[in-house]
Amino acid sequence: MWSANGTAAQTFWASWSGGYHTLVNVGSGKVLDISGGSGDDGWHSHDANNFWDYGDVLHLGIDDCERGDLISWEGHIAIYLGDDTIIEAALDYVEYNSVWAWGTPRGVLRLFQ
């Protein structure tokens, strides 16, 4: 994890292709990948739950959330943007919402330290 510094290394764009969303780093062109993930339920909730259960990431409480962290609910993950705002994607949309739009999150996943 690194503190936010406004560089391309910490900037991602979302693309949609073949029924999947991809988060791509604008500096490196590398993508966010969940090892062992599977989208066999049609809404990718299995991927979200695998990431929570088996992801090699730091698990935190919602009160410790920082910009860029992943917010996790049962079957859903979104990216925290700050000010109680998330960006989230499903099969046919990408939108901004309140952190509380899906109810109380089960926690926070921090990818980097």
Residue range 22-63, pLDDT digits in tens: 777 777 777 766 544 444 444 456 677 777 887 678 899 999
Q: Where are the domains of the chain?
A: 8-110
Q: What is the mean pLDDT of the chain?
A: 77
pTM over 0.95: no
As a three-state string, the secondary structure of the chain is CCCCCCCHHHCEEEEEECCEEEEEECCCCCECCCCCCCCCCCCCHHHHHHHHHHCCCEEECHHHCCCCCEEEECCEEEEEEECCEEEEECCCCEEEEEHHHHCCCCEEEECCC
